[in-house]
Structure 1
Amino acid sequence: MPQEKVYRSELTPVSFLRRSAALFPEKTAVVHGERRYTYREFGERVDRLASRLRRELSRGDRVAFLCPNIPALLEAHFAVPLSGCVLVAINTRLSKGEVGYILEHSGARVVFYDADLEGLLAEAGGIERVRVEDTGGPEDPYEEYLSAGSPEPLQPVLEDEEETISINYTSGTTGRPKGVMYTHRGAYLCALGNVIEAGMGYDTRYLWTLPMFHCNGWTFPWAVTAAGGIHVCLRRVDPEKIWDLFDEEGITHYCGAPTVQIGIANHEKAHRLDKPVRTVVAGAPPSPTLIESLENINIQPLHVYGLTETYGPITACVRQDGWEDLTTEERARLVARQGQGYVTSEEVRVVDEKMNDVPRDGETMGEVVMRGNMVMKGYFRDEAATGEAFRGGWFHSGDVAVWHPDGYVEIRDRSKDVIISGGENISTIEVEQAVVSHPAVLECAVVAIPDERWGERPKAFVTLKKGREATQEEIIEHCRGRIARFKAPAKVEFVEELPKTSTGKVQKFVLREKEWTGREKLVN
């Protein structure tokens, strides 16, 4: 009697490429400047890389990539797991010390690195290195590495879909970065969730504005391939180049944090597109003002929410019937919420300290918790941190939110960012949205500053649109007309730019620490 289960195969996103290469062998799969690879060529390049890795490394070994959004990193998302190894895609904007720590902690056997990033390996130790010139020519060491592999289809060695497919390191703003482990099963289901929620199909032309190193590009390397779409690579975010590619390549989809979206919407080349482009927005809650500005140029935003520990997005703010009949501002306020779990996820909850659901009144705040297919396997080599994150059988996000009557959640803050003023909780996100609704404001970040009477008060750090002016008094008065007076900023500081992480998130701790210098605690 056969032992193999005819009705089951282990889920892995590597299978998406095998299918698309079989169905669309001559269809363009990858665009990178003047280079074009068909799905047949894409598949052969992946098999070459995978076969050589399997020949030289052992099953389960970690393989690191330190590259921007180029074909080599896209190929790694399929080749490394196909070889039986684990992918470690490293943030290209880290310091050399942080890169060295990640390589050491992950135990990576080899690192493939872009030529422009060689300096980041100064503290990488004696690890094997493969240089990527990103030319596509035979003189490129990466291409030489591929040439020693076989283009013949490689048979998978996956035995259990819960095996680790990749390790993604957190930003480490509160200590050493933690290695978040993804599984083949989770990556497969998250990718399909993205295909569904982002509305991708065989005509998808996806622009790589989101770093592939960030949560494995929110699993879009696998998702776009599952849809048989075209990957348009981009080494760095350049709004001018993005607008050129919108027009030249017929882009249908892209992803980006609000700061990326702001640069696109406000660029001098910005114009209303003939055909709608779908963008997936996450990383920080987009303001209604940003959502309105995107819609005005025919970019349709899908607001999603998640963390590194949830493969990137785990919820989507799906538009409901009747929303299109609302005013632009009313609709934008609804779309700016975080929504509910993906079709491949479970419903996320908002709970109090005893893990009880908070009332669905849109006012009572609690912590967002989640579980299921789209939650990480755990932290690599850190059982204590894994246990703490999974207490009570749910993953604890650390995000403070309210639960609305329609079931949608709305993030009000990170727990550490909530301002407690005179006993009242103030959401920095709510204040930021009020500030950026001023026509002269480009971006804003709000943090708590010490106040002798109230303990803490909000302060807004503001960048202005090119050629626009505003005063502190104007901004504060504008906010008082939109939110409760006690929530309005006590002070406004105009800056050239806000401190940000490599993925576009504002580093509020940098602003906060400056304001609390000389005090023992960052609370009052």
Structure 2
Amino acid sequence: MQTKIIKPAANAHDFPLLIKSLLSSGMRFQPDNEIVYSDVLRYDYRTLYKRVCKLANVLTKAGVKAGDTVAVMDWDSHRYLESYFAVPMIGAVLHHVNIRLSVDQVGYTMNHAEDNLVLVHDDFTVIAEQLADQLPSVRGYIRLSDDQKTSPTSLNSLGEYEALLAEASDEYDFPDFDENSVATLFYTTGTTGNPKGVYFSHRQLVLHTLNGASMLGSFEGQPLLRSDDVYMPMTPMFHVHAWGVPYIATMLGVKQVYPGRYEPNKLLRLFRKEGVTFSHGVPTVLQMILNCDETEATDMSRWKLLTGGSAATPALAKQMVDKGIALFTAYGMSETCPLISAVFLKPAERELELSEQIPQRIKAGVPIGLVDLKIVDPEGNDVAHDGDAVGEIVVRSPWLTQGYYKDEAKGEELWENGWLHTGDVASINEDYVIQIKDRIKDVIKTGGEWISSLELENLISQYPAVSEVAVIGVPDEKWGERPYALVVGKPGEEIDGAAIQQHLLTFVASGHINKWAVPQDIKIVTDIPKTSVGKINKKVIRTQVS
């Protein structure tokens, strides 16, 4: 195709999409708004900019150069937010270390990323000391301490974070460079093998931020994050950039509250004290919030909550609605940066009572701007947009990871036929609303039929005494696989497998599910294994029941 390209003026500036552009706007529009770290520290946006400059000077003095990798091992804090900007703004790569992985896996990711400098909180010094001899690329460590009193360590420490910033200049001339330069790197775990490195460029993160701000704040009936909101994450900052929301919040200049280590009662106390209006988290974290002691004393009617990572059950959604929480669902994955779709309620749906909106609010929503999404069968053919036909979600957008770090084969598999393959089975209707049915690896194949583990979990969760549930497929000589359920009861409630089976038989009688979908094995447990980011860990469950 022959298109028209006009030669620009000789002195026209080719403006690169760099993360530094996101930092300046908040200071311009709402400089008095605060960044709050637990009960430890608070400061305004003017100070945030100066502290980012100070950190950039500290990193540069420590020998960090463009292309180097700086690792962060910290809870959700003001320091982590400063690293979100300072590290990539000097041309280095920010490695978000998943501090909830095993020590061996943490070591693997830091070696694979070839970290050069590590910012490590006192709580993780022991881990860093265990791994130090195994990390030949690491040249030094900066200690992160909430009271600035660090204990002796064998690490090659360059100093304590606040002390180093106090001595640094608050001015830094951040350079322009190629917007396609890698800005961030983190690792996602799969069902087998070592964690895989997912990376994103400055351009991708800026575009994701702009579209995320549009999705969260522009649509009528969906004002999740606007300039007068107060934001507190409940998704770890090491997990997909806390869904990219710290970048959005900083661009908008909203008040931000970082809680440190997640503890449900503490989160609710911060919610009340700081006037939080918007948060995001996976369903298991939200369930912990609703079950903690501070819940009864907390008015949650102003709280807007975005959930994702896994589907919120109707029972959990009802609990939230009963507390007055405005629940919305988004869809994405580590490889997608992560935002791909979000709930959008049509005018007629917004007129319904909140409890009547639950079926729509817990779906995966509608693809957001600049996202091409379709559902395909195993041969790669498009499936009908009728809400019934199912297939794998495949996507394209400008912010998807372009591969896996130092793993070309896995990257080619991810991008088969030029579409990023999510591994999620879903349907999509004529209004473009996505309904996730299951992960491809979690679909239960029994007697030639597919059973959705997510659908069974939703139905079981509707039994009044159920708090949590996980369903997997286990090998069966006759049927290939049969569903197997782990169930956690609510405190003080009587619960047994037979009662749950009778509950499911009502859905068989109504034609909602077939009789072979009812698990013959239902185990009542006190806890269900979770991943490092709070999602149900079916890989571990399969190992335990095999």
Q: Which TM bucket (shorter chain)?
A: over 0.9
Name the CA distance, whole Å, in 2 between partners of 1:60 and 1:164.
8
Q: Pick closer, same or farther for the CA change 1:233–1:376 going to 2, 3 Å.
A: same
Determine whether 1:222 maps to 2:247: yes
The aligned counterpart of 1:251 is 276
Spell out, residue by residue over 1:68-98, the C-alpha distance to the aligned partner (whole angstroms, 9 max, x if none).
1011111100000111101001111112211
Q: After TM superposition, give the deviation of residue 329 of structure 1 in Å.
A: 5.9
Name the CA distance, whole Å, in 2 between partners of 1:145 and 1:103.
24
The aligned counterpart of 1:43 is 49
Determine whether 1:114 maps to 2:103: no
Tell me which amino acid in the other structure corresponds to 2:102: S
SS in 1 for 2:347: coil
Determine whether 1:288 maps to 2:306: no
The aligned counterpart of 2:160 is 141
Name the CA distance, whole Å, in 1 between partners of 2:355 and 2:258.
34
Tell me which amino acid in the other structure corresponds to 2:161: Y
SS in 2 for 1:322: helix
The aligned counterpart of 1:12 is 18
The aligned counterpart of 2:5 is none
Q: Is the 2:470–2:536 Cα contact (8 Å) retained in structure 1?
A: yes
Which of 188, 193, 210 is the aligned partner of 1:192?
210
Which of 355, 367, 381 is the aligned partner of 1:341?
367
Q: CA RMSD in A?
A: 2.0
Q: How does 1:125-204 map to 2 (within 5 A)?
A: 125-126=135-136, 127=138, 128-135=140-147, 141-152=160-171, 154-199=172-217, 200-204=225-229
Paired-residue identity, %? 33
Determine whether 1:397 maps to 2:422: yes
SS in 2 for 1:87: strand
Q: After TM superposition, give the deviation of residue 391 of structure 1 in Å.
A: 1.4
Name the CA distance, whole Å, in 1 between partners of 2:10 and 2:236.
42
Q: After TM superposition, give the deviation of residue 326 of structure 1 in Å.
A: 4.8
Equivalenced residue count is: 513
Q: Is the 1:367–1:399 Cα contact (8 Å) retained in structure 2?
A: yes
Q: Is the 2:30–2:254 Cα contact (8 Å) retained in structure 1?
A: no
Name the CA distance, whole Å, in 1 between partners of 2:300 and 2:485.
37
Name the CA distance, whole Å, in 1 between partners of 2:373 and 2:256.
31
Name the CA distance, whole Å, in 1 between partners of 2:338 and 2:301.
27
Name the CA distance, whole Å, in 2 between partners of 1:408 and 1:232.
32
Determine whether 1:492 maps to 2:522: yes
Tell me which amino acid in the other structure corresponds to 1:418: V
Q: Pick closer, same or farther for the CA change 1:166–1:357 going to 2, 3 Å.
A: same
Name the CA distance, whole Å, in 1 between partners of 2:190 and 2:350.
40
Q: After TM superposition, give the deviation of residue 168 of structure 1 in Å.
A: 1.3
SS in 1 for 2:528: coil
Tell me which amino acid in the other structure corresponds to 1:493: K
Q: Which moved more, 1:67-76 or 1:12-21?
A: 12-21
Tell me which amino acid in the other structure corresponds to 1:219: G
Q: Is the 2:37–2:77 Cα contact (8 Å) retained in structure 1?
A: no
Q: After TM superposition, give the deviation of residue 325 of structure 1 in Å.
A: 4.7
Q: Is the 2:321–2:355 Cα contact (8 Å) retained in structure 1?
A: no
Q: Is the 1:112–1:132 Cα contact (8 Å) retained in structure 2?
A: yes
Q: After TM superposition, give the deviation of residue 136 of structure 1 in Å.
A: 6.0
Q: How does 1:55-454 map to 2 (within 5 A)?
A: 55=61, 56-121=63-128, 122-124=130-132, 125-126=135-136, 127=138, 128-135=140-147, 141-152=160-171, 154-199=172-217, 200-271=225-296, 273=299, 275-326=301-352, 331-343=357-369, 345-454=370-479
Q: Is the 1:206–1:253 Cα contact (8 Å) retained in structure 2?
A: yes
Q: Pick closer, same or farther for the CA change 1:392–1:33 going to 2, 3 Å.
A: same
Q: After TM superposition, give the deviation of residue 236 of structure 1 in Å.
A: 2.0
Q: How does 1:493-512 map to 2 (within 5 A)?
A: 493-512=523-542
Name the CA distance, whole Å, in 2 between partners of 1:4 and 1:338.
46
Name the CA distance, whole Å, in 2 between partners of 1:73 and 1:370.
30
Q: Is the 1:204–1:224 Cα contact (8 Å) retained in structure 2?
A: no
Name the CA distance, whole Å, in 2 between partners of 1:17 and 1:107.
27
Name the CA distance, whole Å, in 2 between partners of 1:118 and 1:244.
28
The aligned counterpart of 2:33 is 27
Tell me which amino acid in the other structure corresponds to 2:525: V
Segments of 5+ residues of structure 1 without an aligned counterpart are 517-524
The aligned counterpart of 1:519 is none
The aligned counterpart of 2:3 is none
SS in 2 for 1:169: strand
Q: Which moved more, 1:384-393 or 1:248-257?
A: 384-393
Name the CA distance, whole Å, in 1 between partners of 2:93 and 2:12.
26
Segments of 5+ residues of structure 2 without an aligned counterpart are 1-7, 152-158, 218-224
Tell me which amino acid in the other structure corresponds to 1:449: V
